[in-house]
Amino acid sequence: MKEGGDSGLERLSSGVTGLDIILGGGFLAGGLYIIQGQPGTGKTTFGNQICFNHVAGGGQALYVTLLAEYHARMMQHLSIMSFFDISKIPDQLTYFNCLQVLHDEGLKGLLALLRREITTRGASILVLDGIVSARRAAEDEEAFNQFVHELQAIAIATDCTMFLLTSSRGTQVTPEHTMVDGIIEFTDQLVGWSAESSLQVIKFRGSASLRGRHAFKITGKGIVVHPRIEALLARPSRPDVGGTGRVSSGLDQLDVMLGGGLPTSSTTMIMGPSGTGKTTLGLQFLARCCEAEPGLLFGFYETPARLDAKIAGVCRPLRGLIDQGAVEVIWQPPTEDLLDAYGERLLQAVQRRKVKKLFIDGLGAFRQASGIEPNRIGNFLTALMNEMRVLGVTTVYTLEVPDIMGPSIRTPIGDLSSLAENLVLLRFAELGARLRRLISVLKVRDSQFDGSLHEYVTSDQGLVIEATADSAERIMVGLANLREDEQDGITQPREGRDLL
């Protein structure tokens, strides 16, 4: 469980998914850490999880409560967690309640007991749950500081990493905060009717850590932390060498409009109202994958069954690629997880198969998952897309845009230019009693492109785009005539009905 870090200080892996990444490799062996948070935020689960992970690797751990909490009850609650392994108790993991020792013998007695038990058992992790009791037992602040100081001396002398679990004291800084090697704060925050848990490394000596808040969940596996994507990828994992060449969009005519296809390793946003064929276009993009250039469909709204039906209906070649493993489909409902969990899953899926073509169907799901911090979405996507770029991934994603008013496009995620290098717009146009579809390229990275509108239809071959802009021209003219009719009072359409 112990590993050497960059600083040369020995590291102790927490075994808590995601946390070691935030800590730059784990806790420092022999360090003293405060884990603070309101009751119910997961401190006890965390403390136990660290102990069980440690003993699973052959270490010895000691869990000491200073609370009127019953170990039997605690174990009942923990027994549903996958990390809980009763066979490790008591030989490798021992539970003591030392509240009475504290009452009878004070802090000195408690220190003596801890030192003896750590030494006798060779414990390399100590969790002290309920440090508030020790504070209450102290005669004064000085006595408590002395206790923490001596505890730190024991930690260093025995190479035992210690975790002091305590209820949050908010923003109040107490002397022990300045003495310990690190502080992690757990927070639970209401978001509408639901709650979100997050942690923050407030202090971490001897190493850099990912600053700011990171979301976590308490699952059947215990605490799972999701490092904030924009912190994790603040700098892409490798230099951007600048992709050259072009990648087919999946539609020959669209490739022509794009000036030769999508620039390699670029990001493309397909915008448009519901029903315009955004997903179909994305499927066609993936249908040009091959074993050497694997693809990934990362979707939210179309369930696997609906997706299968759509592929059968409009993009049959993709079926074979999925069956052969050249394209992977990962689907999750947009309400299932945390924003960073989605980002992490996407990143891992891309890295695992060295994906070269990525289609994210439903960018709005990221915004939906951003919950309490919708303003995060811009930085989140920028960091994620920067990483995709350096990994050589050409990304296409869809965004539902209900309001397209002439040249003005309002999106739910703010500044488009920072999120996509190429913009493709799909829209409806009403011509008389018929609904027509138009596609246009609004932007291509560092490239000339055909910016004219083209009509397209959906068919069992997917989207089929007109080779010229002629029919789109006629549609636009027809619309202009209709507007004149409206002005004459012949029809009374709803406001904005006929605007593009």
Partner 1 sequence: MTGIVLVVDDEFGIAELIDAVLTDEGHRVLTAINGRQGLAMMAKERPDLVFLDYMMPVMDGAEVLSAMAGDPSVAKVPVVLMSSMPEATVAERCSGYTAFMRKPFKIAQVVTLTVKLLNRDGPDGQGAL
Partners of 456 in the β-ladder:
437, 465
In three-state form (DSSP H/G/I as H, E/B as E, the rest C), the secondary structure along 86-97 is HHHCCCCEEEEE
Question: Residue count at the site for partner 1 (CB under 8 A)?
Answer: 25
Q: What residues from 451 to 490 belong to the interface with partner 1 (CB under 8 A)?
A: none
Q: Is 411 in the site for partner 1 (CB under 8 A)?
A: no
331 near 300, Cβ under 8 Å?
A: yes
Note whether 151 binds partner 1 by CB under 8 A: no
Which residues are within 8 A (CB) of 296 and not within 5 positions of it... i.e. 6 or more apart? 327, 328, 329, 330, 349, 350, 353, 355, 357, 358, 359
Smallest separation (angstroms) from partner 1 to the CB of 95: 6
Smallest distance from partner 1 to CB 179, Å: 25
45 lies in the binding site for partner 1 (CB under 8 A): no
For residues 150 and 293, which CB has a smaller minimum distance to partner 1 in the complex?
Answer: 150
Work out how close the CB of 104 gets to partner 1 at its nearest, in angstroms, rounded to a whole number.
7
In this complex, which beta carbon is closest to partner 1, that of residue 95 or of residue 366?
95
Q: How far is the CB of 63 from partner 1 (least distance, A)?
A: 10
Secondary structure E strands in 292-390: 295-299, 327-331, 357-361
Q: Is 100 in the site for partner 1 (CB under 8 A)?
A: yes
165/337 Cα distance (integer angstroms) = 28
What does the per-residue mask of binding to partner 1 show for 308-347, with x meaning CB under 8 A?
----------------------------------------
In 370-461, where does DSSP find H-type helix?
376-390
DSSP code for 105:
H
Residue 358, token pair as written in the block: 């990525």
Smaller CB separation from partner 1, 64 or 399: 64
Q: In what order do the strands lie in the sheet with 357-361?
A: 327-331, 295-299, 357-361, 394-400, 267-272, 422-431, 434-443, 454-459, 462-465
Single-letter amino acid code for the residue at 424: V
Q: Least distance from C-beta 161 to partner 1, angstroms?
A: 19
Query: Judged by CB, which is closer to partner 1: 118, or 289?
Result: 118
Stretch that binds partner 1, among 101-109, 210-218, 392-400, 427-435 (CB under 8 A): 101-109
Is the CB of 110 or the CB of 326 nearer to partner 1?
A: 110
Edge to edge, the sheet with strand 125-129 lists 93-97, 61-65, 125-129, 161-166, 32-37, 182-191, 194-204, 213-219, 222-226
What pairs with residue 127 in β-bridges?
63, 163
Question: Closer CB to partner 1, residue 49 or residue 265?
Answer: 49
Q: Would you say 68 or 490 has its CB closer to partner 1?
A: 68
Nearer of residues 114 and 419 to partner 1, judged by Cβ: 114
**Measured from the CB atom, is 48 or 207 closer to partner 1?**
48
**What string marks each residue from 60 to 99 as x (binds partner 1 by CB under 8 A) or -?**
--------x-xxxx-xx---------xx-xxx--xxxxxx
Encoding tokens for residue 307?
């997706």
Torsion of CA 144, 148, 150, 153, to 10 degrees: -170
Q: Which of residues 112-131 bind partner 1 (CB under 8 A)?
A: 113, 116-117
Alpha-carbon distance of 16 to 199, in angstroms, equals: 13
The reply on whether position 494 binds partner 1 by CB under 8 A is no
- Taking each continuous run of H as one helix and of E as one strand, the counts in the chain are 16, 25
Q: Which one, of 38, 366, 372, 334, lies nearest residue 192 by Cα?
A: 372
Q: Which stretch binds partner 1 (CB under 8 A): 24-32, 110-118, 180-188, 273-281?
A: 110-118
Distances in Å between the Cα of 33 and the Cα atoms of 230, 253, 376 are 26, 61, 30
CB of 278 to partner 1, least distance (A): 56
Q: Which residue's CB is nearer to partner 1, number 95 or number 285?
A: 95
| 217 near partner 1, rule: CB under 8 A | no
- Enumerate binding residues for partner 1 (CB under 8 A): 68, 70-73, 75-76, 86-87, 89-91, 94-101, 103-104, 113, 116-117
